[in-house]
Amino acid sequence: MNPFGIPDWTFGTTRPMPADFAAWAKGKTAAQIRAHYRCSGATVLKWRKMAGLPATPAFRMRGSAPDGFAEVAARMYLTEAMEHFKIAYRTARRWYAECGIEPQKAPPTPRPTQSRIALPYNAVKRAELDPSTASHAAQHLRRIFPSVHRADIRLNETGGETWGSVRDLPNKGRDQYYVSGKGVVSSVELIDLAYRHGFREAA
């Protein structure tokens, strides 16, 4: 310690590796380690080498898959990953390829019919009063069905093509959802389905 009360390693002396480094830093990014130990990138590389931990690039190319993507996305359908990570179709495909994994294969999508689910008298009223109800209902149904997603998800960053438009759905899939095992349903039908599986709106 110098007369100013600042640790000697800040003046060029090598900072010793923390005793818990090997256990804590395993699986962490360089940025997380730097923030936790308040050290430089060079120090992180040195400590990783001393601890026998694999090194990672000091920076990530913009737009590349985030840490943990492979582990999470490998268990998802492509459309689920797009919603979960808030990304477009091309970005999702690029990230899957970058990580060397494939999304889960979704079952065939039945074409919509005029009537699929019997509606209670107040389902339409609920949808009209609160547009966010359908989103909350979809979130509830994801606990029950393998795949639940909006039918108007964009398939590319700049174009107007959507999941629904390539399947010839009305209005490019707007106000419609895909539910595995049920097919394409309207927002009103989605809310009713969620109510049949225990969904209740917050008071």
74 and 32 in a common domain: no
Give just the sign of the alpha carbon dihedral 51, 57, 59, 62: negative
Tokens for 6, please give them. Answer: 């600042």
Question: Residues 187, 127: contact at Cβ < 8 Å?
Answer: yes
Tokens for 181, please give them. Answer: 């095992």
C-alpha span between 82 and 94 (Å, rounded): 12
- Residue 164 located in a structural domain: yes
- Residue 115 located in a structural domain: no
187 and 130 in a common domain: yes
The parent domain of residue 83 ranges over 69-99
- Residue 170 located in a structural domain: yes
pLDDT in tens, 125-163: 444 445 578 888 888 899 999 889 988 888 776 777 888
- Residue 2 located in a structural domain: no
The total number of structural domains that make up the chain: 3
- What is the reported pTM? 0.40
157 and 127 in a common domain: yes
- Residue 37 located in a structural domain: yes
- Residue 192 located in a structural domain: yes
129 and 94 in a common domain: no
pLDDT range class, residue 106, cuts 50, 70, 90: low
